[in-house]
Amino acid sequence: MGDIKKLLITGASGFLGSRLLEMLLKESYSPVVYLRQSSDTWRIKNLQGDYEIFIAADNSESSIQKLFDEHEIEGILHIATEYGRQKSLSSIIETNVLFPLRLIEAGLKRGLKLFINTDTFFGKKQFDLQYLSDYTTSKRVLEGLLNGLASKLTIANLRIEHVYGENDSESKFVTSVIKQAILNNDEILLTEGLQKRDFIYVDDVANAYISVLKYGNLTHGYNEYEVGTGISIRVKDFVTGIANTANSKSNLNFGAIAVRAGEIEDSSANITALTQLGWAPEYDMNKALKKIITAEKKRFAYENGI
């Protein structure tokens, strides 16, 4: 699918989307960035490269029709998502199901060839994640609908494990722990940390999209790629790695927080499909944490007037 050059990217102002946009520009793509009027663009405002911005009033059919009237979109990289924390169920369905379907329906009328979807390891069939059930259900609904649309265009579903990196939201687990460790909070409250996750650095995830885009021998049909390192480690060991890398004086209080109901005990990616494209993660935990903490020290020192 390397012949597709005119791409639309949703969620480009977000954590993962901004890194993917940066890499697309380095690969000489000229993407169209789909933004809402309310989008916070601080992650991409200094990016240099050839890209266009489409600012939508909303995600309605009329706004999306205008997008395709103005741009000859051949492929869509759909990164935008709504996790649903303190959001209504209708808003979750709007963002995670109706919006991508409207993009595909409008695109098919204009020769859309490829839709790359961003999915989550939460949605694996063996997991029942109660505390994000609406989010997980919405992603599973979209997955089923994409399977049905796969006779009309190429679908690639990227199922991402626990992605982390600098400039993520401070509400995210890894970034929250990093901030507390850097600022030497007296105590960081944690679960026992025995659950295992496949932690994958954000640049490796972004490169997975590029590999699928450039080297995926995709025909009409549904194609799934699991994105991770292929190895899971205990959360406790990962958090200890953060503290050690940051030379933190914080006390890691494992067991202070109860494990959530339905917590996933272990998850790791089967990366065979990606490695067959020549992709491999470039960052192990130590290399990634050194890079992240160097950057985050500057961010959090500035925020806190240090």
Nearest one of 79, 211, 98 to 145, comparing CA atoms: 98
Please answer whether residues 80 and 94 qualify as being in contact, where contact means their C-beta atoms are separated by less than 8 angstroms. no
Rounded Cα distance between 266 and 251, Å, is 25
Is 135 catalytic? The answer is yes
The catalytically annotated residue of 51, 135, 164, 201 is 135
Domains and CATH numbers, the chain: 7-168+201-228+268-282 (3.40.50.720)
Q: What is the pLDDT along the chain (306 residues), one digit of tens a residue?
A: 557 778 999 999 999 999 999 999 999 898 999 999 889 999 999 998 889 999 998 899 999 999 999 999 999 999 999 887 777 889 999 999 999 999 999 999 999 999 999 999 976 776 665 556 888 889 989 999 999 999 999 999 999 999 999 999 999 999 999 999 999 999 999 999 999 999 999 999 999 999 999 998 777 789 999 999 999 999 999 999 999 999 999 999 999 999 987 788 999 999 999 999 999 999 999 999 999 999 999 998 766 655
Dihedral class, residue 270 (left if φ above 0, else alpha if ψ from -120 to 50, else beta): beta
Q: For residue 96, what are the contacts with CB-CB under 8 A and spacing of at least 6?
A: 81, 82, 135, 138, 139, 141, 142
pLDDT score at 224: 94
Rounded Cα distance between 289 and 293, Å, is 6
Amino acid at the residue 145: L
Q: For residue 216, what are the contacts with CB-CB under 8 A and spacing of at least 6?
A: 1, 156, 223, 277
Exposed/middle/buried for 14, CB within 10 Å: 0-12, 13-18, 19+?
buried
2 secondary structure, DSSP code: T
